[in-house]
Chains A and B, each alone.
Chain A
Amino acid sequence: QVQLQESGPGLAKPSETLSLTCTVSDYSISSAFYWGWIRQPPRKGLEWIGTISHSGSTHYNPSLKSRVTTSVDTSKNQLSLKLSSVTAADTAVYYCAGAVTDTDGAFDIWGQGTMVTVSS
Chain B
Amino acid sequence: DIQMTQSPSTLSASVGDRVTITCRASQSIVSWLAWYQQKPGKAPKLLIYKASILESGVPSRFSGSGSGTEFTLSISSLQPDDFATYYCQQYNSYDLTFGGGTKVEIK
> What is the predominant secondary structure among interface residues of chain B facing chain A?
loop
Q: Is the CB of A36 within 8 A of B50?
A: no
Q: Is the CB of B43 within 8 A of A51?
A: no
The docked-state distance in angstroms from the alpha carbon of A36 to that of B46 is 14
Q: Is the CB of B101 within 8 A of A106?
A: no
- Does A46 sit at the interface, judged by CB under 8 A? yes
- Give the number of A-B contacts (CB < 8 Å): 66
The docked-state distance in angstroms from the alpha carbon of A106 to that of B45 is 11
Q: Cβ of A47: which chain B residues have Cβ within 8 Å of it?
A: 98
With contact pairs A103-B46, A103-B49, A106-B46 given, residues A45 and B100 touching in the complex (Cβ less than 8 Å): yes
Q: Is the CB of B43 within 8 A of A110?
A: yes
> What is the predominant secondary structure among interface residues of chain A facing chain B?
loop
Q: Cβ of B99: which chain A residues have Cβ within 8 Å of it?
A: 45
The docked-state distance in angstroms from the alpha carbon of A70 to that of B87 is 24
The docked-state distance in angstroms from the alpha carbon of A44 to that of B40 is 11
With contact pairs A106-B34, A106-B91, A108-B55 given, residues A46 and B43 touching in the complex (Cβ less than 8 Å): no
Number of interface residues of A (CB under 8 A): 22
With contact pairs A46-B101, A59-B94, A103-B34 given, residues A108 and B43 touching in the complex (Cβ less than 8 Å): no
The docked-state distance in angstroms from the alpha carbon of A15 to that of B16 is 50
Q: Shortest CB–CB separation between residue A68 and chain B, in angstroms?
A: 13
Q: Is the CB of B34 within 8 A of A48?
A: no
Q: Cβ of A51: which chain B residues have Cβ within 8 Å of it?
A: 94, 96
Q: Cβ of B98: which chain A residues have Cβ within 8 Å of it?
A: 38, 45-48
Q: Is the CB of A103 within 8 A of B50?
A: yes
Contact of B44 among A46, A103, A104 (CB under 8 A): A46
Residues of A that sit less than 8 Å from B by CB: 36, 38, 45-48, 51, 59, 61-62, 95, 97, 103-108, 110-113
Residues of B that sit less than 8 Å from A by CB: 1, 32, 34, 36, 38, 42-46, 49-50, 53, 55, 87, 89, 91, 94-101
